[in-house]
Structure 1
Amino acid sequence: MKVIFSTLFLALLLAVSAPPLLYANSDVQLITKEQLKPLVDNPDLVIVDVRRGKDWKSSEFKIKGAVYADPGDYENWAGVYPKDKKLALYCACPNEATSAGLARRLIADGYKDVSALKGGWREWFRAKYPVEDK
């Protein structure tokens, strides 16, 4: 009986907590690779590579025109861009976790037009969209 009760409790807990996890990035504007591709040469947009440690170090490439910003060093790079500048962030983690989290921080700090690349680096690279050496 205890096992059944515990199992039902766990199932209920998962059912209640799953929807927020599924829509964790619903408050962050996502940009698709198809939307971003024609903008890579747009001077009004800054593409920010926020891949973490080994993902950044193990790759030879970045999205064409992107600038690297260490996600752990937010305070030193966030203020570099004007708050009305359009920023598109990308990472290599599932569900845009790093880029969406940093987008939230930027928006909270007053940035107006910030998005996270849906599917991130992996989707961009798989599509063979424009990249360049780091």
Structure 2
Amino acid sequence: MPKRILFLLVFIVAAIVFTDLGKHYTYSLLTNIVSNQAVPSIDPEDLNASEEPYILLDVRTPEEYQVSHLKGAKAINYNTFQVDDLADIPKDARVIVYCSVGVRSSKAGLQLLEAGYKDVHNLRGGLFSWVNMGYPVFDANGQTNRIHAYSRFWSYWLTEGEKVYGS
């Protein structure tokens, strides 16, 4: 009996993780666990539909940004990021931060909140969720299908677009 239960559990977990719906659900749980919950999040659907003005900050590396980014995003290299670099952004501006999956951007968002920014949100699930939901990304030449996949582990969760591991 225990072997059958173990087999059933393994089968259920595999079904959840390896189906598209299960993959989406698992990714959502995973990104919620690894992101800093002190920073409010915004869903890709809500950001896409937003008519409120906002400042969009891409906190990935310059290499990642060059492959593709959200339209209008300002590149902020997470590895060298200093809040003082954003002195031109008013503290009461609506700021949306994002990275590949939401971990680096939640850390940058927390720094912004601690520095006195009032309206900071992290894009839930990052660029990967944005792309997986069918929203466009851009490079220097316009709209593109290429997505910097960040790492082999995290790229598993990127289900749309052409995965790129370098520029």
Fold shared by both chains (TM-score > 0.5): yes
2:127 aligned with 1:127: no
Q: Is 1:45–2:51 an aligned residue pair?
A: no
5+ residue gaps in structure 2?
1-31, 141-167
Instruction: Report the structure, 1 or 2, having the larger helix content.
Output: 1
Corresponding residue number in structure 2 for 1:26? 37
Pick closer, same or farther for the CA change 1:75–1:28 going to 2, 3 Å.
closer
Deviations 1:40-83 (A, max 9, x none): x64x20111111354334x2x21112111122132452222000
What secondary structure is seen at the aligned counterpart in 2 of 1:28? coil
Aligned length: 108
CA–CA distance in structure 2, aligned partners of residues 36 and 129 of structure 1: 10
TM-score of the superposition, structure 1-length normalised?
Answer: 0.70
Any gaps of 5 or more consecutive residues in structure 1? Answer: 1-20
Structure 1 contact 52–91 (Cα < 8 Å) conserved: no
Deviation of 1:97 (Å)? 1.4
How far residue 114 of structure 1 moved from its aligned partner, in angstroms, is 0.2
Q: 1:133 to 1:55 in 2, by over 3 A?
A: closer
Q: Which has the higher contact order (CA 8 A, sep 6+)?
A: 1
Deviation at 1:25, TM superposition (A): 1.8
Relative to structure 1, is the Cα distance of residues 68 and 53 closer, same or farther in structure 2, using a 3 angstrom cutoff?
A: closer
- CA contact 2:42–2:121 (8 Å) conserved in 1: yes
Q: State the superposition RMSD in angstroms.
A: 2.2
